[in-house]
A and B are shown apart, each in its own frame.
Chain A
Amino acid sequence: MRDALFEFLCRMGDNTLVLGHRVSEWCGHAPVLEEDIALANTALDLIGQTQMWLGLAAEVEGADRSADDLAMLRDVWDFRNLLLVEQPNGDFGQTMMRQFLFDAWHLLMLQALTDSTDTRIAAIAAKAVKEAQYHLERSADTVIGLGDGTAESHRRMQAALDLLWPYVGEMFVADAVDDSLCAAGIAPDPATLRAAYEARIQTVMAEATLTLPDTGFAHQGGRTGRQHSEHLGHLLTQMQWLQRAYPGATW
């Protein structure tokens, strides 16, 4: 059970870590100042949540590693994030589409985790769920605004949805880790989140005048670590650069 729990906590923490890093790449580059600040704040929330998830992962593992060690000293094959969150930022619309597709899942997952039989997990979820709610409000609004915007913004949002939708299916595929945590009441069966997720997506896409791709294909391999996309390695060379170049460096 300890191995499964560690694995699960890495999945939660790696999602927020990798997405937080991706979103932080916008700092100083967003189309307008307000969006720059909003993206930086979102990234900050995600990194803060990462400290809690990976902090608990390190504690559960009991191998004398810290949250920082897990974030900065693991290599690609040890990361357990969804493939969706490691995908490149693309344009602003693509970044916000990725954010919305993640936020809608993240909120449902965190809401379910507030009932976890593991009180440490329930506490982190109760803290993070307020932030996720706020993120979803903004990303959904932005997807609607840009989807139902100009011909150009609509075209870009539809292209982003077509590109990213095949990465959504991975969120709902259970494996042995999920089975054992679900049996212990620690985490939900991911498949049970799907109906509510799709209902939310359909409502927002209808309002955004965007069409969901007619495909059930799902890229997989991120949350199991079996095969990440090529993008994660490039991200890690940036994120982990300091600890790689100057091992053990501290503030």
Chain B
Amino acid sequence: MAPDLAQIWDWLDQVPDPEIPVISVVDLGIVRDVAWDGDMLDVVVTPTYSGCPATTVIALDIETALRDRGLDRVRISTRIAPPWTTDWLSDKGRARLEDYGIAPPRPAGGPERCPRCRSTDLARVSQFGSTPCKAHWRCNTCLEPFDYFKCI
């Protein structure tokens, strides 16, 4: 008997993002749809940034995870509209990002507080960081650098 969709979403929520392994691909909001088409499982993903090199790895990781659960017929497709937004990040994902040392995105355009010491005295070092989705900031209180998840 084919597993129900809630079960599959749960499995996908255990697939870590390859760059930021503390959050899942579901937390990241890039799994847009999961549906059965007969005995074929359709999984629709959307890229974060158009050139993000993790996108192909993510598709492969999703396929591998589902195969490991015994799903042999999986079709992964890419959908670019509507474009990915950080609004799709789950609350669980946001909390885990901060625990991991990455300040979660905010519409105000900058981090709310230092993910380590919670200070609000912050400075932007660079608009870009170690991956396309992050910017590089510094805390003026504990003096530690940290990543900020860009808001788009």
A40 to B80, CA, bound (A): 23
Bound-state Cα–Cα, A49 to B130, Å: 20
Task: List B contacts of A134 (CB < 8 A).
Answer: 127, 150, 152
Given contacts A34-B136, A127-B81, contact A137 B50 (CB under 8 A): no
Provide the bound-state CA to CA distance between A46 and B52, in Å: 11
**B110 interface residue, CB < 8 Å from A?**
no
In this complex, how many residues of chain B approach chain A with their Cβ under 8 Å: the count is 21
**Contact of B51 (CB < 8 Å), options: A38, A48, A119, A126:** A48
- Contact status of A52 and B80, CB under 8 A, knowing A44-B53, A134-B150: yes
Contacts of B130 in A (CB 8 A): 37
User: A42: nearest residue on chain B (CB-CB)?
Assistant: B128
Are B127 and A51 touching (Cβ within 8 A)?
no
How far is the CB of A8 from the nearest CB of chain B, in Å?
Answer: 18
Interface of A, secondary structure class, is helix
Report which of B50, B80, B129 forms a contact with A45, defined as CB distance below 8 A. B50
| B132:A130 contact, CB within 8 angstroms | no
Contacting residues, chain B, for A130 (C-beta < 8 A) = 83, 152
Confirm or deny: A67 has a beta carbon within 8 angstroms of a beta carbon on chain B.
no
B104 beta carbon closer than 8 Å to chain A: no
A116 and B84 CA atoms in complex are apart in Å by 19
Chain A residue contacts of B129, Cβ below 8 A: 37
Does B70 make an interface contact (CB < 8 A)? Answer: no
Q: Is B142 an interface residue (CB 8 A)?
A: no
Residues in A with CB closer than 8 Å to B53 are 44
**Nearest B residue (CB) for A128:** B50
Interface string of B50-67 (1 = CB under 8 A from A): 111100000000000000
Assess the A127–B50 pair: CB atoms within 8 A. yes
Chain A residue with the shortest CB-CB distance to B130: A37
B residues contacting A by CB (< 8 A) are 47, 49-53, 80-84, 125-130, 132, 136, 150, 152
Q: Which residues of A contact B (CB under 8 A)?
A: 34-35, 37-38, 41-49, 51-52, 119, 122-124, 126-128, 130-131, 134, 137-138
In the complex, 11 of the A-B residue pairs with CB atoms within 8 angstroms, ordered by the A residue number, are: A34-B128, A38-B127, A44-B53, A45-B51, A51-B50, A122-B81, A127-B47, A127-B81, A131-B50, A134-B150, A138-B127
Q: A123-B80, A134-B152 are in contact. List 19 more A-B contacts (CB 8 A).
A: A34-B128, A34-B136, A37-B129, A37-B136, A38-B128, A41-B132, A44-B49, A44-B53, A45-B50, A45-B132, A47-B51, A49-B51, A51-B50, A127-B80, A127-B81, A127-B84, A134-B127, A134-B150, A138-B127
